[in-house]
């Protein structure tokens, strides 16, 4: 390696030594464990017009423990809070963080801790953050049904439409007569099954609707023999049974 030999005056060397001492004093004040460079490294930095003569060890020490370590310490301390803020603000900007509708409280706690552990492990974070992060994930999560209602997803609109169709079907069974009433009852049963499947109607609620109609129209729940005479009797009922009247529209006064 080529070498350069310098001949400097005593006052120049003294000035460089004072600068070197000041650099060490300032660096050690900022970080008592700062890895100090040698006077030769300091002089080499001066020749290269580098105002910060740092060795590789010094740079590593500064980034991990020195004056820039506040960023890492702050991130380690506030990391769970940052995740909680992201999740909480997601809903304010049209995003959502949802959990399964069939999860129990124990399922939510277990899944939150597993996810928090995976995040901290992959980020090489402190394991002490797992409990706090899991708690914030658990508190920020929302039921998928609440999210669907708030965002009016296609599934929620379908479920809401089913509830309306069930109500209309119930009214149709109450007001229809003859074979039409039986057809409407069959349609209503199908709608109730769909409503239970999509979660828009509870099973107990569907049973209450059918029990109400059974008490109101018990003849519709009696299974009739499907023979020729029964079909002929049903045809006669459909002809001679009075159809429900529709109210006439009143004329507006002139």
Tens digits of per-residue pLDDT, 158-186? 888 888 899 999 999 989 888 888 889 98
**DSSP-H helix ranges across 93-202:** 105-122, 129-140, 144-151, 154-175, 178-198
Render pLDDT for 27-47 as a digit per residue (tens, 0 to 9). 777 667 667 778 887 777 776
Burial (CB count <10 Å: 0-12, 13-18, 19+), residue 146: middle
Q: What whole-number distance in Å separates Cα of residue 23 and Cα of residue 15?
A: 12
In 3D, which of 197, 200, 175, 195 has the Cα closest to residue 185?
Answer: 175
Burial 13-37 (b: 16+ CB within 10 A, else e): eeeeeeebeebeeebeeebeebbbb
User: Residue 148's pLDDT is what?
Assistant: 84
Lowest mean pLDDT, pick from 120-124, 159-163, 191-195, 227-231: 227-231
Query: Does residue 27 contact residue 34 with C-beta atoms inside 8 Å?
Result: yes
User: Residue 220's pLDDT is what?
Assistant: 83
Give 102 or 123, the one with higher predicted confidence.
102
pTM greater than the 0.75 cutoff: no
User: Residue 110's pLDDT is what?
Assistant: 94
User: Residue 52's pLDDT is what?
Assistant: 52
pLDDT, mean of residues 145-153 = 83
Q: What whole-number distance in Å separates Cα of residue 142 and Cα of residue 120?
A: 22
| Residues of the chain above pLDDT 70, percent | 70
Compute the mean pLDDT over every residue in the chain, rounded to the nearest whole number.
76
Residue partners of 40: CB distance under 8 A and separation at least 6: none
Render pLDDT for 44-71 as a digit per residue (tens, 0 to 9). 777 666 555 455 555 555 555 544 554 5
Lowest mean pLDDT, pick from 82-96, 99-113, 226-240: 226-240
pLDDT confidence tier of residue 73, bands split at 50, 70 and 90:
low
In 3D, which of 147, 155, 153 has the Cα closest to residue 99?
Answer: 147
What is the CA 202 to chain-centroid distance, rounded? 25
Q: What whole-number distance in Å separates Cα of residue 198 and Cα of residue 63?
A: 55
pLDDT confidence tier of residue 252, bands split at 50, 70 and 90:
very low
Query: Does residue 37 contact residue 54 with C-beta atoms inside 8 Å?
Result: yes
């Amino acid at each position: 390696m080529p070498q350069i030999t310098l001949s400097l005056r005593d006052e120049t060397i003294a000035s460089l030594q004072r600068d070197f001492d000041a650099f060490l004093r300032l660096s050690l004040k900022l970080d008592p464990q700062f890895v100090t460079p040698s006077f030769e490294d300091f002089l080499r930095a001066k020749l290269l017009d580098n105002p910060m003569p740092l060795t590789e060890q010094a740079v590593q020490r500064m980034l991990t423990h020195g004056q820039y370590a506040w960023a890492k310490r702050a991130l380690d301390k506030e990391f769970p809070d940052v995740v909680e803020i992201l999740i909480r603000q997601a809903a304010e900007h049209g995003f959502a963080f949802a959990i399964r509708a069939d999860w129990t409280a124990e399922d939510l706690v277990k899944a939150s801790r597993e996810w928090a552990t995976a995040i901290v492990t992959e980020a090489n974070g402190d394991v002490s953050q797992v409990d706090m992060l899991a708690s914030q994930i658990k508190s920020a999560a929302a039921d998928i049904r609440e999210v669907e209602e708030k965002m009016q997803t296609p599934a929620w609109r379908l479920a809401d439409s089913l509830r309306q169709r069930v109500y209309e079907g119930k009214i149709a069974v109450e007001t229809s007569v003859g074979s039409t009433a039986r057809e409407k009852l069959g349609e209503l049963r199908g709608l109730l099954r769909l409503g239970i499947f999509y979660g828009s109607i509870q099973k107990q609620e569907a049973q209450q609707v059918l029990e109400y109609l059974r008490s109101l129209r018990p003849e519709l729940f009696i299974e009739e023999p499907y023979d020729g005479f029964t079909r002929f009797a049903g045809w006669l009922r459909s002809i001679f049974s009075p159809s429900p009247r529709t109210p006439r529209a009143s004329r507006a006064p002139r």
